[in-house]
A and B are shown apart, each in its own frame.
Chain A
Amino acid sequence: MSHISKIELEIKSLEDLKAACKELGLQFCDGQDTYRWYENTRGIDPASLPEDIKEQSRCDHAIKVPGARYEIGIVKQDDHYELRWDDYSTGGLVKKIGENAGLLKQAYTVQRIKKEARIKGYRINQKKVEHGIRLVLSA
């Protein structure tokens, strides 16, 4: 062994995020500019919502999750994308994508690593381990 690192994930590739959505059975909505969450799904006319709620509802793209009432907003921030979503239980997102969108982040990470590692000529071994997925890259 020679070193161990921990990484704080930043979503940088929409292409890999789309692939992750496909794998999880989620629908990526290119260019959808608002996403559904608690404040904008209470039956109030969208035009009458307060400005701060309208602002918080804006996004560049969105993800629809089958069986969930709320959606995930994707907002571009400089060189990466931020996921915005409401984890309130009635929205149904936690059940589908995990706490802190962990399952979606996991699927994205696996996609991203496998694609780039193949380009670099690594052999990839993937297996399910307790509480996650392990990828072993060997040259």
Chain B
Amino acid sequence: MKEIVVDVSDAGEVRIETRGFTGKACLKESQFLKDLLGKETYQQLTPAYYVNQKQQTKKYLTLCG
């Protein structure tokens, strides 16, 4: 499931986390929040970001014998 999680602390700090996206879609999907609120001061890309959306998923295992 694709989600954008926004934590707004009692000190007014904003942290945005995207979940369930692969590739650059997460950046595009959450850009409106960054434009809305101010300047991005930190960004950490997670392994899912580097997953190529066109990559085929292996549906079976090669058996040797």
Residues of A within 8 A of B (CB): 1-10, 12, 80, 98-106, 109-110, 112-113, 116, 120, 122, 129, 131-139
**Are A106 and B37 CB-contacts (below 8 A) given A3-B18, A4-B17, A136-B3?**
no
* A112 & B18 in contact (Cβ 8 Å cutoff): no
Number of A-B pairs, beta carbon distance below 8 Å: 144
Q: Which residues of B contact A4 (CB under 8 A)?
A: 15-18, 42-44, 46
Per-residue CB proximity of B1-15 to A under 8 Å, as 1/0?
111111111111111
* A110 & B3 in contact (Cβ 8 Å cutoff): no
Label chain A's interface by main secondary structure: mixed
* B12 & A102 in contact (Cβ 8 Å cutoff): yes
Q: Which residues of B contact A112 (CB under 8 A)?
A: 36-37
**Are A5 and B42 CB-contacts (below 8 A) given A113-B33, A137-B4?**
yes
